[in-house]
Chain A
Amino acid sequence: MCGIGFIVNINGNKSHDTVDQALQMLIRLSHRGGQGADPHSGDGAGILTQVPHELLADWCAEQGADLPEAGGYGVGMLFLPTDDAARLDYEARLERIVRQEGFRLLAWRTVPVEVEVLGASARSTKPAIRQLLVTPLAQTALAEGWSMERHLYVIRKRAEREIGGIAERSGHPFYFASLSARTIVYKGLLLPDQLPAFYADLQDARYTSALALVHSRFSTNTFPSWERAHPNRYAIHNGEINTIKGNVNWMLARETKCSSEQFPDMLKIRPIIDASGSDSSMLDNCLEFLHLSGRPLAQAVMMMIPEPWAKDPLMNEGKKAFYEYHSCLMEPWDGPAAIAFSDGRQIGACLDRNGLRPARYCVTDDGRVILASEVGVIDIPPERIVRQDRLRPGQMLLVDTELGRILPDEEIKATAASERPYRAWLDEQLVDLAQLADRPAQEGEPLDERQLLQLQRCFGYTFEECHKLLKPLAEQGEDPVGSMGYDGPLAVLSDKPQLLYNYFKQMFAQVTNPPIDAFLEEMITSIESTIGSEGNLLRPGPGNCRRIRLPAPIVTDEELQRIRDNRLPGLRAVTLPMLFVASAGGKGLKRALGELFQAADQAIDEGAAVLILSDRGVGSRMAPIPALLAVAGLHHHLIRSGRRTAASLLVESAEPREVHHVALLLGYGASAVNPYLAFASIEQMQRDGRLAEGRLSREQAIAHYMRGIGKGILKVMAKMGISTVQSYIGAQIFEAIGISQDTVDKYFTRTPSSIGGIGIATIAGETLQRHAAAFAAEEQAPVLESGDDLQWRSGGEPHLYSPHAIHSLQQACRTGNYGLYKQYSQSLDGESDGSGTLRGLLQFAAVRQAIPLDQVEPVEMVLRRFKSGAMSFGSISKEAHETLAIAMNRIGGKSNSGEGGEDSARYVPDANGDRRASAIKQVASGRFGVTSHYLVNASEIQIKMAQGAKPGEGGQLPAHKVYPWVAAVRGSTPGVELISPPPHHDIYSIEDLAELIFDLKNANPQARINVKLVSEAGVGTIAAGVAKAQADVILISGFDGGTGAATRSSIKHAGMPWEIGLAETHQTLVENGLRGRVRLEADGKLMTGRDVVVAAMLGADEFGFATLPLVAMGCVMMRVCHLDTCPVGIATQNPELRAKFAGKPEHVEQFMRFIAQEVREWMARLGIRKMSELIGRADLLQLRDVPAGRKAAAVDLSALLRRPKEAQLAADKTFFMDDAPDASRSELDLTLDRQKLLPLSESVWNGLRTERVQAILPIRNTDRSVGTLLGSEVTRRFGAQGLPEDTIQLHFHGAAGQSFGAFVPKGITLTLEGQANDYVGKGLSGGKLAVFPPSKAAFVPEESMIVGNVALFGATSGEAYIRGVAGERFCVRNSGADVVVEGVGNHGCEYMTGGRVVILGNIGKNFAAGMSGGIAYIWNRNGAALEPLCNRKLVEIAPLDACEDENEAQQVRGLIERHVKYTHSEQAQFLLDHWERSLHQLVRVIPRDYKRMLQTIERFRQTGASGEEAELAAFQARKQA
C-alpha cells in the first residue's frame, strides 16, 4: 500500500546522484503515500543505501576517532528515547552487549536532523536518532569464520530482546532502523519531501551509494509510526501479508527445531519474528533470518513468496521441484506483494504470484536500472532508455553490483534449483495419498438408521442442514445460495445450544488488500498440502520432504484409513480420542483436553508424524469434545511446547459438515478433515434414492460433496486474498464473537474477540444438551429437528423477520397506522428480553430531562440522513427500483442505484415532479453502466469495497435474469451471464482506492464520494486509511444486512455486526483526528427508530435501510431473490410476476417517516433536540441487565461504549455536514485539467462548438486522471452523446500519471507521446485515446511496455490505440470500447462483456477468463500455442479467416488502419502491407454464449422483428432452452 522504487548503478559505481535521484523518485511517488489528519505528517518515508563511508569517515576524523576501512565496521541507525536518562541507560546496556559479542564501540553519532520540517504528530513522537559505530575486536571476527553481518544480527537480536523489553514496559522507543556493515536506513514518520530536509546527511555530497531503495508508506493495517516506516533492514514491501498470523505462529513453532552452524546459539536470536512489527517488518525478519543462515537473498525470497508452481504446465521441472521441495519446509507468505530488497551488494525486486502491485523498470544506456511503482518518476531522455518493461507476476529482477550485471529471472531461479537434487529427494521421500496401500475401511457395519439419527442429533444436525446443505452439495457440488441477509440471533445471544463454529466469523479483505478471483484465476490457487513431520528449515536434506501429499484438505473414510494404517518410516499416524465423559460436565471437558494434549506430546515424542483427532466412539457415556476446540487448543499447546512442526493434525469428526466448519478447523491448525457423519448422512440419502431422484452413485455423491467443500474453502481463502491451503492452515483468519478472553487466550491464542462471552463450561454445556437429547431421552423422536437457521420456524430461533413483524409493518405502511407500526417496533425492540442483536443488550441512560416532542427537530431533518440500500436494477425489478427512488427523493433522503447502472431516461423528472434517478450511484467491481453520464448524474458516488451479505466476494447475475432491458443498462448482451469480480481490478491497495476516489471526484466534483466497508475487526484502521484517501463518507455495513444472493455460509459467517465496526471506526477516527473529515453511515438490519438512535450514538451520521423498505413494498422474505421467482414482483424481472408488484412510493415514505418519528420520540425522552447532538454519544448507552444463566450475560460491550477523550471535548460538535462537498473541491486545484485543460476549452462552453480545440502539453506522472474533469464538464453540458468526434484534441508528451483519460466522453481525443501508468482509459465513455513512444526512443516499441496495468478497465465505449505492450489485466470489464494494442500481460480481456480488442502481439496467461461478451483478435504472428494461455471455459478460439461473416475481417482491418493513423505503428503497417498473407495468423476469441445469442438475435431480426423485439425473443428462446 505504498510507493516503492529503487535505483542502482549496475557496475557498483557509487555516487551522490544515485541518492539524489532516489529521493526525487520518492517525491514523485508522494500521492501513493498516506497523509494523516495533520497535513504535514505522512505515514512514513525512508531510504536504504550502502553505508556512506566517506561521510562517516569525515565525521570520525572530525571527532578524532579512527574508522576502519569500508566494510570493516557496522553502523547502527537507532531510534532512542528523547529522555536522556533512559537513553543513556539503553546505550550503556547496548554497549555491554556489543562487548560481550566481541565487538568494540567506535562512536555514537547524533544524526543531524531538522525538526522544523516535521508535522505536529511526527514531531511529538520523534525519537532521539543516533548512529552506533562498532567494529569487531581483532581476535573475534574472522577466527570463527562467520561474517560481520551475522555478528551484528546477534547483537541486534539480543539488544531487541534484552533492552527492547525494558523500553516497551516504560513506553520508550528502542529500535534499530538498521545495523549493518553494508547498508543503512534513514526513515521516519515523514512525507517524502521531508525526508532529505529532515536528514541533512542525505543532502551531503559525500553521502554516496551505488544503490538506493525508497518507500513512501500508506498505512491501512497498522497505525503509522517512526518504526513502521520502510525500508526495513533488507526489504521494502508494497502490499499486505494476509497469512501473517499463521506465518508467525509457524515460525514460532519452527524456530525451536532450527539449528545451524551459522548460529551456534540459537537462543540469542530468538524470537526470530518481532511480533510487534507490521506484517512487512515480520516478513523482513524472516527474510533476514533465512539469508543470514546461509541462503542467498534471492533464494530466501523464492522460499517465502513462491511462484504458483502446482498448476503451471509450462514451468521447468527443476524449478518446480525447488518450489515443491520448499513447500515442505515453509508455507507461502501469501498476499499481494511487490517487494524490493538489498543486502548492499545485490538489489532486486519481485512480485507475488498474483502480481497485484505495479513494478515498472527501465535500463539506461549508462548502466542504471530504475524500478518503481510508476514510470516517469525520474526524468530520463527517451533516447537513453534501452529497455523498458515491468515485473510480471511471480517474476524477480536482480542486479549484482559486484558482478556488474542484471541477473534475469530464469537465471536466478535456475541457479537456485540446481543447487541440490530436489527432484530426486521428492521422488524418494514424498508420497502421494493415492500411493498409500489400500486398506479396508473401518471394520464393522455401517451405521444403522437409529445410530445415524442418534449421532446426527448429538452433533446438532437438522432437517434443514440435510436437505438444504448436504443434499445440494452432494447433488451439484455447490455450496447452496440464499438471499436477504441473516436475521437470526448471534450464537452468543441465542438461547439454544450452538455449535462452537458459530461463535467465529470469517475475516475478509477490503481495501488494504484485494480478495482474489479464486475460480477465474485458478492457476494461482492450490488446495494441496502435505502432512508429516517438518525438518530443520536451515538444513536442506532429503528428510525434509518425508511427507504425504494430500490433494485436498478433506479426506474420505478410506483415505483416512490408509493414512492411519501406513507403515512407512517417518510417517507414523497415531489416533487420539476427542471425547470426554458426559457426566463430568465442564470440568470433564477441561480434563479431557489436558489429557489430549499430553497424549499428543507423548505420541510426538515417540515419533508420531501425524496425529488423528477422532470423535469416533461417541455414545451414551462419552460426549464429543468440540473438534474446533480440540484442534485449536492442541495447535497452540504444541506451538508452546515446541512440538508443533513435528506432526500434522488430522480431524476425524462427526461434527464438521459445512464449508465454514472445515475452514475453521484448517484455520486453527488441522491439515485435513474427515467429516464422517456428513459422508454417512449423504450415503444414507443416496441409499434411499433421495439424491437427484436416485441417479447418483455413492461415489459420485461423495465426490460432489468434497468438491463443493473444496471450492467453498477456496472461496473463503480468496475472500482474504489467500491462494493456497498450505498457507491458510493455521492462519487464523477469523474473529471470535462471544468467546471469553481467557478461553481465547488459552485455546484460540491471538484471535480477536471484542465482546467477551462464554467459556469452557458453557461450551461443554451446549455439547451436553445435544448429547442428552440424542442419548438420554426415554422416547426417540423418529425425525430430526427442522432447523431454524436461515428460515423461520415456529418454535425455532427468533428471527427479526417473523410473520408478525412482516405483517404488522406492511399493514402499518399501507394504512398509515402508526399504532400498528409501534406494535411492530416494540416487538422487535424487545425491551424485556433482548432481540438477538448486540444493540438489544444496550439501553439508553437517562442523563437529561425529557423534553416535549415538539422541541425536537422535525421529521424532515431526520429523513435527510436516511438512505435506501444498494440494490441493482437487475436484481430487483424496474417497478421496485423506481418506487424506492421516487420515495427517497420525495422525503429528501437518498436511494442507491446499486451496481447495475441506471437507465438515463430516469435522469429526467416526471411530469408530477417525481424524480426516479437514484441520488447515490454505485461503483462496484463489475462497473456495469458506469459511464461519465452516470457519474455526473449522482449527488453521491459509492465505491462498494465489500457487501454485508458476502464481503470479499463478487457476484453474478445468472443468464436467466439478464433480460434485454437489464442488459441494455449494463452494457451487455441479453441472456448472457454477468459476473462481478471479487476485487475491483483497479483497487488492489489503499493507494489504488485513493486513486479511484480521485478519479471519481474528477468525474463529478459535485458528488460526495462514499466508500462502503463491512464490519470486521480492524475496520477502524481501514476506515482511517480511507479517510486519508480523502473519501467524504464511509459506510460501515453489518454482516447480517444485504439483499444480495450469496452462499448461505457467507451470509451467516463472514463479517461482524455493525455495532462493533461502527464503534471501532468512530473511535479510531476521533483518536486520529480524522473524524471531522468524513461522515459515517451505518446499515445492516436497521429495523426501528431505536436501532437508528443506537447507531447514531455509536457514531453514525447517516443510516441505510435495504430489506425493510422492500418489506414495506410487499416483500415477504421468501429469500428466493436469486431465482427470479419473487412472488411479489420485487426481486424478479419476469413480467408476469412484476405485474404482481403492489408497492407504492407512499409505503416506503410512510415507513421512513415512522422510523424518523420514532427517532424523534426517543430523542425527546433523552432530552436531545437535534440529531447532530446524538452522534457519537456512546455515554448515553449502557448495558442492559441480562439474567444470569443466559449466555448473553457473559457479553461485555464496554469496548463499544468507550469514548475517546477528544469525543468528550467535541461532544456538541456536529459531524454531519451538508450534502454537497465543498463546491470548489480544492484538492483538484492542481490538476492539469483545472489548470490548463478547462481554460483551454472555454470556447466550447461558450457555444462555439464548431471550433476545435487543439493543444500540445507536457505531462508527468504526478498528473493524474488527466482529461477526466474536462470530460465531466463536457458530459454535464452536453449529456450522454458528448461532442462531435475530435472536438477537443489534446496532445501530451512525457509520462502520464495514473488513470490517463479516465471516463473521457465522446468528443475528446487525447494522444500521449511517451508512456503511461496504470488505469489508462479507465471507464472510457466514448472518448478516444492514443499512446505511442517518442520517435527518438532507443527501444523497440512493440516489445516495450508503454502503458501500465488494468488499462481500459470498465470502458463502456470509445476507442484506444496503444503502440506497445500493456501490463496485466488489459481491458478487464470492457463493455464497449474498441481497442488496439501490441501485446498484453496476464488476464487480458477478463470479464469483458462487449467491445472489440485487437492485439498485435503476445498475450499473457489466463486470457479471456470470465469473458462473456465482445470479441478479441490476436495477431499470432509467430504461431505460438494460444490455447494454454487462454482460459477456455467460456470462449472459443478460431482463425479469423474461418469466420462466416466476411465483413468482420474488414472491420478488424479498419481498426488497425486507425491504429496506424493515430500511432504510426510499424508493426501494424507491416500487417496491413501483408494483409492477405497474414490473415490466417489472426485469431478470433469469442465467448460461445455471446456468439450464440448474437446469432439468435440476428435470426429473429431477419424475420422482421425490431431490434428490441428480436432481443426479447432471443432471450425468451434462451430461457426456454
Chain B
Amino acid sequence: MGKTTGFIEYRRESMHTRNPADRSGDWRDLYEPLPEQRLQTQGARCMDCAVPFCQTGEMLDGSVVGCPVHNLIPEWNDLVYRGQWKEALDRLHATNNFPEFTGRACPAPCEGSCVASLVESPVAIKTIERAIIDKGFAEGWVVPRIPLRRTGKTVAIVGSGPAGLACAAQLNQAGHLVTVFERHDRIGGLLTYGIPKMKIEQDVVDRRVNVLREEGIRFETGIDIGRDVTAEQLRAQFDAIVLCTGATVPRDLQAAGRELKGIHYAMDFLHLNTKSLLDSGHRDGRFLSAEGKDVIVIGGGDTATDCVSTALRHRCRSLVQFDIYPQKPLHRGAGNPWPLWPVVHKVDSGQEEAQALFGRDSREFAVSAAEFVSDGQGGVAGVRGVGVTIAKDASGNRTQTEISGSERLWPAQLVLLAIGFRGPENGLLQQMGVATDGRSNIAAGRGSDQGRYGTNVPGVFAAGDARRGASLIVWAIREGREAAEECHRYLMGG
C-alpha cells in the first residue's frame, strides 16, 4: 500500500509539460515523462484506501466520481512504488484496454476523488498510469495475446474509436472473430482524427492497433457501413453487430451570419489538420489553416482547447475563446464537495500556450456569440459577442440572459464551433431499424432483453458516444468492454 506516510512526506508531482512556447512550434508530445525514481515516489503517496473512491466510476449527485473503467489504481500505485512494473501493467490492463490513451488524454476524474486530496493534493494517478503503459511498450511487455480457442462466432464492429476498439479487443479475447469497420482511411476514430497529435501521437494509436491486429482482429478501413455495405449485408455476414459510430453530428450555433465562410465545426478543422499532418506533414495544404488569422473558438470544453492548440500551431494572429459560462472558482464550492468532480478553474495546455504566445489566457468568460459579422464578401470578419448570465430554472433547464450594454465586436477570419455534439448520424441506424432515444442517441439500455447495451434489434448492440452521447475516452472504453460482455452472452446463448 504505497508507503504509509507517503502522502504526508512527499509532494505531488505530475508529468511535466514541455515549455509552452517551444512546444507550440511542433506537433510532438506535449508531456515529458518523469524519471522512474520520482514515479515510484509518487506511487508511494497512494494511501490504498479501503474504500478507494478513485476507482468508483459512479455518478453521485450528477457528477462522475472516480474512474469509469474502475482502474485498480491502489494496486498498481503500490506496485509502481515497489518497482514491480510488469505486474503493475498486468493489473492496469485488467480493467483498461488502452491505458496509453487515457494516460494521455483523460481528464482523470480519479484524481478528483482521490482521498489524498483531502490532505493535500491527489496522487498523480494519470502520470503513473501513462508511465506504466509506456514502460510496458518500451520493454516489449505488451505482446499480442492470441486467444486459445475460437468460438466460430463472428462480430462486426462499426467504428474504430476507443469504444469500438475496446469492444473488439474484448470480444476477440473471448474467442470470437471480430471485424472492425472504419469509414476513414485510418483506424482510431477520435483517437486518430479528433484529438490533436501533441496529445496522442499517432504511433501510440498505431502500435496498439498493430497488437490488436496480431491478436486476430480484422480491420477494414474506408468502408462506410450503410453506404459501401448495406445493413442487410452486414447482418447476413455476422452473428452480431456492435455500433460504435460515435456522436459525430456537431451542435450548431443559430446566430445571424452563420452562413458566412470561415465558420467551421471544430471537428472538421481538427480532422483535416491531422490528416494533412499525417499524410504529408501539412505539405499537401489540405487543411483549414489559421495562419495569420484572427481566430475565435466558440466553446469551453476540451475540443475547444484542442482547436486553440491547433490554431496556435498554425501561427494564427490572434485567438479568442468564448465560454458562455463565467470563470469557475479556484477552489471547490460548497455544493461541489470532494469526492465529486472538482468544478474549478483550470488552465489547460491550449490556454497555457496562448498565455505564452500572446501574454494572456485565450478565454473570454460569460460571453456568447450573438452575431457573425460579414467582411462583405461572404466571409466572416468578426463576431459580435455579448455578455450573458446563465441560470437554472425550477425544472433544471438552463436559461441564458444577455447583459445589456455588454456587446463587443471581435475580429475573426476563422471561427470554430466547438459547442458539442448532437448524437450519432442517423442513416445507418434507420437502415438497420435501430431506435434512438430522446437525445437522438442509440437507445440501448436497461430494459432491453439484450442487457444494457442491446438495441431493439436482436444481435445489434451499441456502445460509446453513439449510445451515451459525446463523452470521455474512458467512458468509451468502459462501454466497449461492457457491450462486449453483453454481446458475448448473446452469442453464447447465455
Contact = CB atoms under 8 A, between A and B. Distances in A.
Interface of A: 463, 467-468, 482, 484, 688, 690, 693, 778-783, 786, 790-795, 799, 801-804, 806-808, 810-811, 814, 1116-1120, 1123, 1125, 1127-1128, 1134, 1136-1137, 1140
A778 B60 contact: no
B148 A779 contact: yes
Contact of B119 (A688, A804, A1127): A1127
B51 A1123 contact: no
B162 to A, nearest CB: 19
A794 B70 contact: yes
A1116 B82 contact: no
Nearest to A690: B84
Interface stretch (B2-10, B11-19, B453-461): B2-10
8 contacts: A467-B75, A780-B148, A782-B90, A794-B57, A803-B51, A1123-B5, A1127-B47, A1137-B8
B210 interface: no
Nearest to B54: A803
Contacts of A484: 50
Given A467-B78, A1136-B8, A778 B51 contact: no
Nearest to B72: A786
A778 B49 contact: no
Contacts of B116: 1127
B175 A778 contact: yes
Interface string B35-55: 000000000000101111101
B440 to A, nearest CB: 30
B174 interface: yes
B56 A794 contact: yes
Interface in B146-201: 147-149, 151, 173-175
Find the residue from B56, B82, B90, B119 having the highest chain A CB count within 10 A: B119
Contact of B49 (A693, A780, A786, A1117): A1117
Contacts of B151: 778
B47 A1125 contact: yes
Contacts of B113: 803
Interface of B: 1, 4-5, 7-8, 47, 49-53, 55-58, 60-61, 65-66, 70, 72, 75, 78, 82-84, 87, 90-91, 93-94, 113, 115-116, 118-119, 145, 147-149, 151, 173-175, 337, 339
B50 A791 contact: yes
A1456 to B, nearest CB: 48
A467 B91 CA distance: 13
A1051 to B, nearest CB: 11
Contacts of A1118: 47, 49-51, 115
A476 to B, nearest CB: 14
Nearest to B59: A804
B60 A1127 contact: no
B55 A794 contact: yes
A782 B337 contact: no
Given A783-B90, A786-B94, 7 more contacts: A688-B84, A778-B151, A795-B70, A803-B65, A807-B61, A811-B61, A1117-B49
A801 B51 contact: yes
Contact of B82 (A693, A799, A802, A1125): A693
B117 to A, nearest CB: 9
A844 B100 CA distance: 53
Given A467-B78, A1116-B51, A779 B66 contact: no
Contacts of B175: 778-779
Given A778-B149, A783-B90, A690 B51 contact: no
A1519 to B, nearest CB: 11
Contacts of A690: 82, 84, 87
Nearest to B335: A815
A1199 to B, nearest CB: 33
A583 to B, nearest CB: 19
Contacts of B61: 807, 811
Contacts of B53: 803, 1116
A688 B87 CA distance: 10
Contact of B145 (A782, A811, A1127, A1128): A782
A1107 to B, nearest CB: 12
A783 B94 contact: yes
B434 to A, nearest CB: 28
B7 A1127 contact: yes
A802 B55 CA distance: 12
Nearest to B69: A794
A542 B72 CA distance: 61
Contact of B148 (A778, A795, A1128): A778
A1158 to B, nearest CB: 21
A779 B94 CA distance: 13
Contacts of A799: 51
Contacts of B87: 688, 690
A463 B60 contact: no
A351 to B, nearest CB: 45
Contacts of B78: 467
B51 A1117 contact: yes
A1127 B114 CA distance: 11
Contact of A803 (B58, B94, B145): B58
Nearest to A808: B60
Contact of B60 (A482, A804, A1119): A804
Contacts of A482: 50
A790 B52 CA distance: 12
Given A794-B55, A803-B66, A1127-B119, A778 B147 contact: yes
Contacts of A791: 49-52
B89 to A, nearest CB: 10
B7 A1120 contact: no
Nearest to A779: B173
Nearest to A1119: B50
A690 B151 CA distance: 37
Contacts of B119: 1127, 1137, 1140
A839 B477 CA distance: 39
B294 to A, nearest CB: 46
A137 B53 CA distance: 86
A801 B52 CA distance: 11
B99 to A, nearest CB: 14
A795 B75 CA distance: 16
Find the residue from A482, A484, A1125 having the highest chain B CB count within 10 A: A1125
A803 B339 contact: yes
Contacts of A802: 51
A1118 B54 CA distance: 13
Contacts of A814: 337
A803 B64 CA distance: 12
A813 to B, nearest CB: 12
A811 to B, nearest CB: 7
Contacts of B90: 782-783
A1111 to B, nearest CB: 10
B118 A1140 contact: yes
Contacts of A795: 70
A795 B95 CA distance: 11
Given A1118-B50, A1137-B119, A811 B337 contact: yes
A790 B50 contact: yes
Nearest to B6: A1125
Closest 6 CB pairs of A and B: A1119-B50, A794-B70, A1117-B51, A778-B175, A803-B56, A1127-B119
Nearest to B172: A779
A804 B58 contact: yes
Contacts of B4: 1120, 1123, 1125
A807 B65 contact: yes
A808 B62 CA distance: 13
B91 A783 contact: yes
A778 B116 CA distance: 40
A1308 to B, nearest CB: 48
A1125 B5 contact: yes
Contacts of B1: 468
A780 B145 CA distance: 10
A811 B60 CA distance: 11
A836 to B, nearest CB: 16
